[in-house]
Chain A
Amino acid sequence: MSDVATDVMAIIQKKIRVERSQLALDDKLRDLGLESLDALELVFDIEEKFDIEIPVNANDSNIGGFETVGDVVRAVEKLIAQKAQPA
């Protein structure tokens, strides 16, 4: 597993409200008991950790269109790659 995945999963692990010793990439976010304000803090923690901007509007039905833990990891990896490229 990539370093990004490990870091993202550690951040998610701190916010979830269900007993889960080990997160998996195909875990669905909605099964992890994340409440709407948890999700806001989660996105903030990830943005701060990687110095990226994740475009999320809380009015969308599922936050940022992320269904699984893996979706978040892939989005973060993509944003990090975009940041590495010269503008």
Chain B
Amino acid sequence: MNRVVVTGLGAVTPLGHDVGSYWSELKNGTDGIRPVEVITDPRLNQKVLGEIKGFDPLKHFDARELNLLDRVSQIAVVAAREAIAQAGIRFDGELSERTATIIGTGAGGQNTNDDSYRRLYEEKAARVFPLTIPKLMVNAPASQVSMNCGLRGPAFAVASACASATHAIGLSYQMLRSGVAQCAVTGGSEACLTFGSIKGWEAMRIMAPDKVRPFSRDRKGMIIGEGAAILVLETEPDARKRRADILAEIIGFGMSADAKDITAPDLNGMVRALDNTLKDARLNPQDVQYVNAHGTGTTVNDRTETQALKVAFGDHAGKLAISATKSMIGHALGAAGALELVATLMTLRDNVIAPTINYLGPDPECDLDYVPNTAREMKVDVALSNSFAFGGLNAVLAVKRYRP
């Protein structure tokens, strides 16, 4: 079995359009939940979202290219380019054919969908734009990253709602570990801040009106965001051979399904995903210092996730540092797991844990250490990143500081 390492990171987020600015704002505890600008219909009740502000696609693509790129693909490609540039890798010849492109997304090209329905139903247009279908298909981000970066190995989209990116990265990890592929460009992308999509989230009545307060008393729910994060994974011997700067090692991946409720989380499903990850990574609970929580800010997720950590980690749960970066960027659904893994990897690199902001005080049902409100300097060698999706689909990754 190959060891698998991370050599490149890229991100486009509400807190900045590259990993450096994203991570520095996360450490500052900056709240990226801001007044909605992209949706102007007055029937929208939700006033704040995790929107990527000031992203100008023409800085990255020409007009002809943009005809083919929904926002969800634009940000995926921009993040992939950043990750590949950091890795300093060239996909020539055989390596291109041995490189996987696995990209998670929950909803695909929602902006294209919304635009074409508006034309048809509201403007009574007779036709929609010719490239509507290839822009909105759920595999468009994976295909566009593959095409843009010249990656010709296994490539596909993964859809498991809020766990999509974690499943995508986990599958990539398994492919490299087993030798099916040699390199992977993997992560997630989501751009679902459209009128139709957010009205759907309003109808679920689980969004907070103002701020995301994971694990806090008086939390009022989650808030939807958008973003993309992409990683370059390589087998360890390959990365060493080309003297790459190795950022961290991926050491385990665990999955489970609740088979229970379409929206409510399940303690047993979460615990099995955590247990499977610890087992896959050959970790004892006390080996782990930090958990980047799923931490959506809903009453039920945060309570259930707290219980799951207590069951999976036993007494050690009280010693874990746990934080929810969704407090700052909202829930970017199919991209969330990748955005959170990037934060987790930066924690390993800098020995700083991004905080859970907007924390008002303990909830009796959430009584662990959530790194409230301010970042913490702490040596972290091993960390987990949790994703627990609607539909009861759970995925957890384990990462470790790299040592040769």
Q: Could you list which residues of chain A lie within 8 angstroms of chain B, going by C-beta atoms?
A: 36-37, 40, 43-44, 53, 56-61
Most buried by B among A37, A40, A57: A57
**A-binding segment of B123-131, B198-206, B374-382, B395-403:** B198-206
Residues of A within 8 A of B298 (CB): 59
Q: How would residues 242 to 278 of chain B score, 1 for a CB under 8 Å from any chain A CB and 0 otherwise? A: 0000000000000000000011100000000000000
* A59 touching B263, Cβ below 8 Å: no
Roughly how many angstroms separate A80 CA and B157 CA in the complex, as a whole number? 47
Most buried by B among A36, A44, A59, A60: A59
Question: How many pairs, one residue from A and one from B, have CB atoms within 8 Å of each other in the complex?
Answer: 31
26 intermolecular pairs with C-beta atoms under 8 Å apart: A36-B264, A37-B262, A40-B203, A40-B205, A44-B203, A53-B45, A56-B205, A57-B205, A57-B206, A57-B208, A57-B209, A57-B220, A57-B221, A58-B204, A58-B205, A58-B206, A58-B221, A59-B206, A59-B208, A59-B219, A59-B220, A59-B221, A59-B298, A59-B299, A59-B300, A60-B299
Residues of A within 8 A of B205 (CB): 40, 43, 56-58
User: In chain B, what residue has the closest Cβ to A61?
Assistant: B299
Q: How would residues 278 to 322 of chain B score, 1 for a CB under 8 Å from any chain A CB and 0 otherwise? A: 000000000000000000001110000000000000000000000
* B219 touching A36, Cβ below 8 Å: no
The 6 closest A-B pairs by CB, nearest first: A58-B205, A59-B299, A59-B221, A58-B206, A56-B205, A59-B220
Q: How would residues 203 to 243 of chain B score, 1 for a CB under 8 Å from any chain A CB and 0 otherwise? A: 11110110000000001110000000000000000000000
Roughly how many angstroms separate A60 CA and B263 CA in the complex, as a whole number? 16
For the complex formed, measure the closest distance between the CB of B200 and the CB atoms of chain A, giving whole angstroms. 12
Within 8 A of A (CB), among B68-99: none
Residues of B within 8 A of A60 (CB): 299
Residues of A within 8 A of B262 (CB): 37
User: In chain A, what residue has the closest Cβ to B301?
Assistant: A59
User: In chain B, what residue has the closest Cβ to A39?
Assistant: B205
For the complex formed, measure the closest distance between the CB of A62 and the CB atoms of chain B, giving whole angstroms. 12
User: In chain A, what residue has the closest Cβ to B264?
Assistant: A36
Residues of B within 8 A of A40 (CB): 203-205
Within 8 A of A (CB), among B182-212: 203-206, 208-209
Roughly how many angstroms separate A65 CA and B299 CA in the complex, as a whole number? 15
Residues of B within 8 A of A58 (CB): 204-206, 221
For the complex formed, measure the closest distance between the CB of B391 and the CB atoms of chain A, giving whole angstroms. 13
Roughly how many angstroms separate A36 CA and B205 CA in the complex, as a whole number? 11
Roughly how many angstroms separate A21 CA and B219 CA in the complex, as a whole number? 38
User: In chain B, what residue has the closest Cβ to A44?
Assistant: B203
For the complex formed, measure the closest distance between the CB of A38 and the CB atoms of chain B, giving whole angstroms. 12
Within 8 A of A (CB), among B36-52: 45
Roughly how many angstroms separate A86 CA and B45 CA in the complex, as a whole number? 21
Contacts beyond the supplied A40-B203, A40-B205, A61-B299: 7 A-B pairs with Cβ under 8 Å: A36-B264, A57-B205, A57-B220, A58-B204, A59-B206, A59-B220, A59-B299
Residues of B within 8 A of A37 (CB): 262-263
Residues of A within 8 A of B209 (CB): 57
Roughly how many angstroms separate A32 CA and B211 CA in the complex, as a whole number? 33
Residues of B within 8 A of A57 (CB): 205-206, 208-209, 220-221
For the complex formed, measure the closest distance between the CB of A17 and the CB atoms of chain B, giving whole angstroms. 14
Roughly how many angstroms separate A37 CA and B390 CA in the complex, as a whole number? 13
Residues of A within 8 A of B204 (CB): 40, 58
User: In chain B, what residue has the closest Cβ to A37?
Assistant: B263
Within 8 A of A (CB), among B381-397: none
Roughly how many angstroms separate A37 CA and B300 CA in the complex, as a whole number? 14
For the complex formed, measure the closest distance between the CB of B173 and the CB atoms of chain A, giving whole angstroms. 34
Roughly how many angstroms separate A12 CA and B300 CA in the complex, as a whole number? 24
User: In chain B, what residue has the closest Cβ to A36?
Assistant: B264
Roughly how many angstroms separate A56 CA and B264 CA in the complex, as a whole number? 17
User: In chain A, what residue has the closest Cβ to B218?
Assistant: A59
Roughly how many angstroms separate A60 CA and B220 CA in the complex, as a whole number? 7
For the complex formed, measure the closest distance between the CB of A51 and the CB atoms of chain B, giving whole angstroms. 13
Roughly how many angstroms separate A53 CA and B203 CA in the complex, as a whole number? 11
For the complex formed, measure the closest distance between the CB of B5 and the CB atoms of chain A, giving whole angstroms. 40
Residues of A within 8 A of B208 (CB): 57, 59
* B263 touching A36, Cβ below 8 Å: yes
User: In chain A, what residue has the closest Cβ to B300?
Assistant: A59
User: In chain B, what residue has the closest Cβ to A40?
Assistant: B205
For the complex formed, measure the closest distance between the CB of B294 and the CB atoms of chain A, giving whole angstroms. 15
For the complex formed, measure the closest distance between the CB of A65 and the CB atoms of chain B, giving whole angstroms. 13
Residues of B within 8 A of A53 (CB): 45
Roughly how many angstroms separate A56 CA and B205 CA in the complex, as a whole number? 7
